[in-house]
Every structure is written in structure tokens, then in C-alpha cells.
Structure 1
Amino acid sequence: MRRRHVFYVPGYDPEGRTRYRMLFVRELTLYAKRFGQPKRRLERAVMGKDGLSQRWTVAAEPAVEGAETSYDVLLWDDLVLKDFARWRILSVVLLFLGSLHAIVTGMMVRFYRLNWKYGNVILYPLFLILLLTLVSGLIAHQVHAHLGEGYGHSLRWPFWLTVPLGLMVGIVWIKSLDALLERAFFWQLLNDWVFNWQHGQGWRPDYDARVDAFAALVVDRLATFRAEGIVLDEVVILGHSTGALTAVEVAARVLAADPVVGTGTTALALLTLGSGLPIVALQSAARRVQSDIASLVVSDRIVWVDYYAPQDWMNFPDFDPVARLPLDLDGQVARNPLVRSAKFREIIDSETYIKVRWRPFRMHFQFLFANDRLGEYDFFAMALGPQRLRDRVTGPRVFAGADRTTRP
């Protein structure tokens, strides 16, 4: 492996254009220090002219046989910010509608069967809204009871004044909790669930247009490499969390639009990490998503590797789309995905593991962090190392900075 290009799709994150460059630099520095590697030279990040990507290059490192890797972060945080900017009462109404639909159709039961932790994450905003509404109602009742008519200890203010005042106090109390709700990822998880529900129902044309734009960007970027005579050994489309499904959709459209990619010396790989794919793909209306998945399942031009972690609350461990989704394979043999466990217990120090096991978001982002120990799952070995993804997953693995190999 001499040269690789990675197209990375972040999850549902309003800070996509700032978070992932800083995370990449910080964790790569830590990774090199832990495993005795020379520090890799990174170019400055630049925005693509279309505003859809943030780009940088990581130089090759002969001492560890690392490939030169160019990196594109595909940005859709502007769509997320649009969701966050809508009236919050509208977001709450959408939450109720989406949750009711999932419960009535039996989807919620299926989510719980796949991963009860993720089921709890999905219902967490709904239960918190119900709790806040109940407490706010009690506060409003107490205000009315102490100020209204008909109570011996009250100020006997008129009904038309005490009821609105009580409601106002209840609303102000909820508003005072804004900072706490943000720290508890309440709005993040609420809007994420609403987005996935809308996407599964086919109600996000803005997102569909962005996926098409991402696919066109990938095809154009690869055409530019060919025109400039640059030979890539591997192209990786990589997605984490909600972005894992986006990566799936982008990869399917790239294969459909570019008949060359994945047929020559350049290997094409799809890497999905901590995926929430079933939240959308299990919806009966998500036929285009199911079609995209089916096209990847039978393709011999791409290898799709899906890593999950049982310790991660926000993914679906050991989910096999071929077995669990209504895919039309048209009689063709299923070749993908290769489903693997990241085995977080083996790559995180015991002391660190104890600290983070009850922090869902921290554990969810472990997929993008530097390992504490060498192991099968290794983000930077896959993104920057000397092996193609297919070879690493199916053959002997070369560990970073060490003359060691192991069988999968």
C-alpha cells in the first residue's frame, strides 16, 4: 500500500466541520505516542470549493510502512443545524409522532430485540419530555392553588390570571433547564431520532440531495486522480454512527455512477462503524435505502466491513442486513458485509473502561479514538496503515509500529 484516499462521513452532528479535524489530530498524536511511532505530518485542512468537504493529507511514514492518505470529511452539519434551529415545540411534536409510529408498527419492539440499550436511547427523549411535562404541570397547579380562588390559604386571585401564570412558571422552569438538557444530549438525541424517522419515511429531500452531491463529489474526485495520473491503491468510504448509513448510500450511488471504480488495481472499501442502520432500514417505506443496501450486498467491486461493539449503546451488535432486512437480491450471492466486533474490552485499558462504560457518547466515539492496546480493531491502522481493508480483515493483520502479525 502506497496511496489511499478516505471519504469520511460524520454522524448526525451540528459541529461536523470543527470536531473531526481536531479529533483526528489529537487521537493520531496520542496513537503515535502510545505505539512508539514517528509523528505523521498532516497538511492543513482546506475547504472544498463546493463547501461540501474538508480536506487534508497525511504523509506516508516509511518507519511504519504507512500509506500516504488523503482525507475528505463529507459535510452535512448544515442540515443538522437546520433541524436544531426549528421551533422546539415542532421538534417535540415530531418526536411524539415518530415514536407513536414506531410503537404502533412494532418497529420499537424490533429495536429493543436488536439492542435494548439503543431502544432506551431512542425512547429517552420521549420519557424525559413526559417527565418534564408532568413536573411542569404540578408546578403550574401549585401556583394556581396558592394564588387562586377557593383555597383558604390562597391570595384568591381570579382564575383567568392564575392559570396562565401557572403555565408560564412551568414553562420558565423547563427553560431554566436548557443547559442541563444540552449536557444530557437531550436535543441531540431527539433531533437524531426525528431525522432517522423522517429519512425512513422518505421525507428528507434535502438529505437525499446531499447524498447525491456526495456521490458526485466522490466520482469527480476519483476522475481527477485518474486524469492527473495518480494511482490509488485503495479508496475507503467510511461512516460512523448515523453517518454509517450515509456512507452506505453514497457507496451504492458511486458504484452505480462510476463503472470503473472497484474493477482495476484500486480497491474500493466501505467501512461502517457503530452503525444505526436498522433505525432507517427497518422502516417499510425505506425502499431506496433497502435497494442501496442490496446493491452493495451482491457487489464484487467493493468490500463492506461493519464493526460493532456490544458496549456501545448506540449501535446494533452483530446485525446482518442479509438475514434481517427484506432485501431483493434477485437470486445473486451475498458477498457483503463482513460483520466484526471491535472488541472494546481488549483495546481499552481496564481503568479507562471502568470510567467510560456508563458514558454512552464516550463509548460510541471509541470507534474514532486511539487504542490503548493493539487489537483487531484499529481505526488508524485501517485509515493510514499499509494494508488494504479487505486484506486486514480476511488475512494476517500487521500491527502499527511493531514487527507483529496475527490471524483474524
Structure 2
Amino acid sequence: MSSTLSYTPPALPEAVPGPVRRRHVFYVPGYDPGAGSRYRMLFVRELTRYAKRFAEPKRQISRAVTSPDGLVQSWSVAALPETQGAETSYDVLLWDDLVARDFARWRVISVLLLVAGTLQTIANGLMVRFYRLNWKYGNVILYPFVMVILLCLGASLVGALVQAGLDSSLGWPPWASIPAGILAGLGMVAALEALLNRAFFWQLLNDWVFNWQHGQGWRPDYEARLDRFADHILARLAGFAAEGTRLDEIMVLGHSTGALTAVEVTARVLARDPDLGRAAPNLSLLTLGSGMPLVALQPRAVRVREEIKRLVASPRLVWAEYQAPQDWMNFPGFNPVRHLGLDLEGAPVTNPLLRSAKFREVMTTETYMKVRRRPFRMHFQFLVANEVRGDYDFFAMTLGPQRLRERVLAPVHPTA
């Protein structure tokens, strides 16, 4: 893992003057079959805690409205004059139906895909690169593969014992005892289903398979969803313009696997609208706890690297990424400019701004000690209300008066 957790690009776009009074956020959740309900509940709960902890007035949140096609969930948060908080509207871009489809496929297919993807990654040396970037994430990637091996060994042992018992005790012929042993082994695996779910086995297995397939270019359903998200963003912005609504900041925000999705969608939006961000870079891209290397480092992920390259050299937006050494499921120190070998053809580097979320500083010691060995809880700390004021502050970035660029470079802590 790299020791450099802070990077400011040499050609970072200039600041746009004035506070944010009106912001629109396009949020992309991670690889989560329950994202359609989970993020809304998390947002409301944590914003309530945030206000209570820092003695701020409670902000009014509108009811959520889901689009007819089920792909966008929208709500708004009222401005907070006491802290100069911006009026913020939200569109959550949903792709949990694609994730649910992955979870619904035959388990044996998922396991075979896992084995194929893991063996390929080991053979081409990528697994070593993942471990060098973050050994914890390397363990997370290998965890389902190792579990599959252990489950196969356990099932084989149970099956062999059952077969031997039936042969010796009851005198069953092999044509009957062997199938019975196989069924016993499969029954052992089925009996562990609840335990496997609590251990996030299937979640991590399917997540890794998705990232591998994405890097191979084998997810046309996901590619089509990226296009639909780009279409929605452009239509939404055109709607604001038609009604005369002035947005001080347009923010595309992604967490976890959704961080790369946010990057891909932003690149497509900029490619389709040559005027967006030309007059002033009021377009912000915020990526949190990203697993970008899982896809971008794969040799066949040429399209993904090309889109990242365009953003790295674009003066039309400000891209900030927060990483956390305490989070097992991100790559602290990863810099696409340095680690992806991008050929910018002489263009200046404008993005991304890289910073550490410094979770130890925004959590109490007691809370940190409770959650430091809970990988998923720590991974979601990016979206959770601070317990202590700090430079990293999810709600200050999404609801506060500072633009993302200024929030990262010179954060002002709100006071009620």
C-alpha cells in the first residue's frame, strides 16, 4: 500500500466564486441488491444523528419519489439558513436490479465464475498488484475463493463418511451409497447457508465476479445502464435549465463499486454535452471508498481506462476521491495518474484530488474500537454522520455551502 494519501493535481481547475445555494446530487450506490431502500434509510437516519450531535436544526427532507422505470429515486433537503446550508436535491441512480439478478443465478454458476476469475487474476499477476495496493482488500478478494475450497473439502469429507457408513453398516451398494454421500455433502453446504450469509460470503463472491466480468467487458446489461444514467443526468439538467433553476453545483457521487460507476457515467455525460462545465467547472465528482483498481487494472478494461484518462485531463470538472486506510474494501494511496500508466499525450493533470478520510479523527475512540474489525461497517463510514467535526464530512460536502473543491482544500466547519 502506498504511503501517499494526499495528492493535489498540478492543473486543478480554478475556484468558482460564491457559496453553494442550490446543489443537485446524482448518487450511485455500490454493488448492493437492497440499494433501493437501504440508502434512503441510511441518509435520513444519519442526517438526523448529525443534526443532534452538532446541535443543528433538523432539516426537512421530502418524501422519496421513484421514477416509473424504477431506476431513479428522488428527494430534496431544505436549505439551512443557520449554517448557510444549501438546498440540495437528490437523484439516486439505481442498478440494484442487476445485482439482484446476479444473486438469483444458480449458485454453481456463480462459484464457477469466481474460480475462473480468481485463477485468471492469480495467473496474470493482478492479485499480487492488488495485495501491494492494499493487502486487506487482497484478503477480501481471496476470501470467497478460499471458502469455496474449504466448503468443497468439508462436503467431500462428509460425503465420504456417509458413503463409508452406508457401505459398512448397511451394506448398501456403491450405486446407492455414492449418491447418498453426495447428497449429504450438499446438505452440509445448504445447512451453512445462514452462516454464509452472515459472513457476507455470497455478497463478496458476487461483487468480485461482477468486477471481474466488468473488466473483461462481459456486462452488456451494466453498459446499457451506464447509458441510461447518462441520459437521465442530461435530461435532468436540461429540465433545470428549462425551468430557470440555477444550480451552483452539480455533484455526481459514488461509493464503493458505485464510485467507478460514477466515474464512467460522468465521462459519458461530458462526452455527450460539450458545453457542460465550459463556462465554469460547477460539475463535481466525488468518489468514496473506491474499488476502481479491481476493474481498471485488468488488461482488457481499455474503455474504462480511456474514460478515466479523459477525466484526469479535463478542466471541466473537479474530481475528489476520499480513501481510508482503516477501510478493508478500498485502495488507500491508489492514484489513477500514477498506477494506471495513462498516456495523457502532454495534457496537464487536472484530477483527481486525493485525500484520506481520517476515520480515526471523526469517530470517538470507543466507536472506532467497536467497528475496526467489522469491514462492512467501516466501509460504510464514508456515508455515516461524524461523531467529531473533521475535514472529512459527508453531509458538509453534500449539503453545505462550500463547493467540493474548497471543501477538500480549505474545509470550513459549520457552526449552528
Q: Which of 346, 359, 377 is 1:331 aligned to?
A: 346
Paired residues of 2:64 and 2:74 also in contact (CA < 8 A)? yes
Using the TM superposition, name which of 238-247 and 212-221 deviates more: 212-221
Paired AA for residue 307 in structure 1? Y
Q: Which runs of 5+ in 1 are unaligned?
A: 403-408
Give deviations 1:290-344, integer Å, cap 9, x for gaps.
0000000000010110100000000000110010103231211111111100000
Which residues of 2 match residues 251-266 of structure 1 at below 5 A?
251-265=266-280
| Unmatched segments (≥5 aa) in structure 2 | 1-19
Which amino acid counterpart does residue 24 of structure 2 have in structure 1?
A: H
2:153 alignment partner AA: L
In 2, Cα distance between equivalents of 1:350 and 1:83 = 38
1:60 is displaced (CA, Å) by 0.2
Question: Which structure is richer in relative contact order (CA contacts within 8 A, separation 6 or more)?
Answer: 2
Task: Calculate the TM-score normalised by the size of structure 1.
Answer: 0.96
Partner residue of 1:90?
109
> Which of 110, 119, 125 is residue 106 of structure 1 equivalent to?
125
Deviation per residue, 1:22-72 (Å, 9 max, x gap): 000000000000001000000100012342110000000101110000001
CA contact (8 A) 1:235 1:267 kept: yes
- Classify the secondary structure of the residue corresponding to 1:316: coil
Give every structure 1 segment of 4 or more consecutive aligned residues whose post-TM-superposition deviation is greater than 4 Å.
none
- The one of 393, 398, 403 equivalent to 2:412 is 398
- d(CA) in 2 for partners of 1:121 and 1:241? 14
- Structure 1 counterpart of 2:253, which letter? L
CA distance in 2, matches of 1:299, 1:49: 34
Letter in 2 for 1:235: I
> Residue 285 of structure 1 aligns to which amino acid in structure 2?
R
1:49 corresponds, among 40, 54, 68, to 68
Q: Which amino acid aligns with 2:85?
A: G
Partner of 1:388: 403
CA shift, 1:260, in A, is: 2.1
Q: Tell me the equivalent position of 1:366.
A: 381
Q: How many residues are treated as equivalent by the alignment?
A: 397
The one-letter code of the counterpart of 1:124 is Y
Q: Which residue of 1 aligns with 2:327?
A: 312
Root mean square deviation of aligned Cα: 0.9
Give the C-alpha shift of residue 401 in structure 1.
2.6
Residue 347, structure 1, aligned to residue 366, structure 2: no
Question: Could you tell me how far apart the structure 2 residues matched to 1:216 and 1:355 are?
Answer: 43
TM-score scaled by structure 2?
0.94
User: Identity across aligned pairs (percent)?
Assistant: 65
| Distance in 2 between residues matched to 1:43 and 1:264, nearest whole Å | 32
Check whether the contact 2:250–2:284 (CA below 8 A) recurs between aligned residues. Answer: yes
Q: Partner of 2:97 in structure 1?
A: 78
1:140 to 156, 159, 167: 159
Match in the other structure for 2:27: 8
| Structure 2 residue 88 is the aligned partner of structure 1 residue 69 | yes
CA distance in 2, matches of 1:102, 1:347: 36
Question: CA shift at 1:382, angstroms?
Answer: 0.2
Q: State whether residues 281 and 316 of structure 2, in contact with CA within 8 Å, keep that contact through their aligned partners in structure 1.
A: no
C-alpha deviation, 1:266, in angstroms:
6.3
Deviation at 1:208, TM superposition (A): 0.4
